[in-house]
Copies of this chain bind each other. A is one copy, B any other.
Amino acid sequence: MNHSPTKPHHHGALRVALIQAGIDILQTDGLHGLTLRKCAARAGVSHAAPAHHFDGLVGLKGAIAHHGLSLFREAMLAASADAGDDLAQLKGICRGYLDFAAAQPALFRLMFGFEKHEHRKVSVELDDDLAYEILREACAPFVRDDLPAPILEAQVWSLIHGYATLYLSGNFLRELHALPQQEAFEQVMTALDRMVTR
């Protein structure tokens, strides 16, 4: 056996190849450009191969989102690596959140853009715990008796997620974005101070 045991046959690591192809296509052609057939072509397989590994297009998107969440997690971790106190840590994670959305807008939209009827097909692939854990840990130091963890986490997550998605929507928050991006972000994130301090 000179083959890797995890290399089933023909192409071998087709699953990862298709996911990577999908991420590349998202970056190049946007969310609309993501196509089973284009992924297949880029991975060098027949047009119907992707629908086999993943359960149709929704399945592929779920797998891409799953992998995207791990990239997302890494981006947030990296952005908060050299943080001083707890608040700087939290803000660093938010910075990583926004930067990831800005760097990979189509992937970001894909991750959070599933419709309700798709949830059942995707929920197995898309365990948010992976990325959510980062946020949860960053929020932990600020939990108080009158501010339980799930509430605080929802508040912080809503703030940064809303800011990131509105940022991607472009047309909105125009007045704010008269400021340079970095300053606008910091100004908006001053809301975190108020949320977190008694």
Contact = CB atoms under 8 A, between A and B. Distances in A.
A95 B5 CA distance: 55
Contact of A159 (B109, B123, B162): B162
A163 interface: yes
A170 B112 contact: no
Contact of A176 (B154, B163, B172, B194): B154
A150 interface: yes
Interface in A135-178: 149-151, 153-155, 157-166, 168-176, 178
A172 B128 contact: yes
Contact of A123 (B30, B122, B171): B171
Q: How large is the interface on A (under 10, 10 to 19, 20 to 34, 35 or more residues)?
A: 35 or more
Nearest to A163: B158
A159 B158 CA distance: 5
Interface string A172-187: 1111101100001001
Contact of A155 (B106, B109, B122, B159): B159
Nearest to A106: B115
Contacts of A9: none
Nearest 9 CB-CB pairs, A to B?
Answer: A162-B162, A158-B162, A161-B162, A158-B163, A150-B175, A155-B191, A194-B194, A150-B176, A154-B176
Interface of A: 30-32, 105-106, 109, 112-117, 119, 122-123, 126, 128, 132, 149-151, 153-155, 157-166, 168-176, 178-179, 184, 187-188, 190-191, 194-195
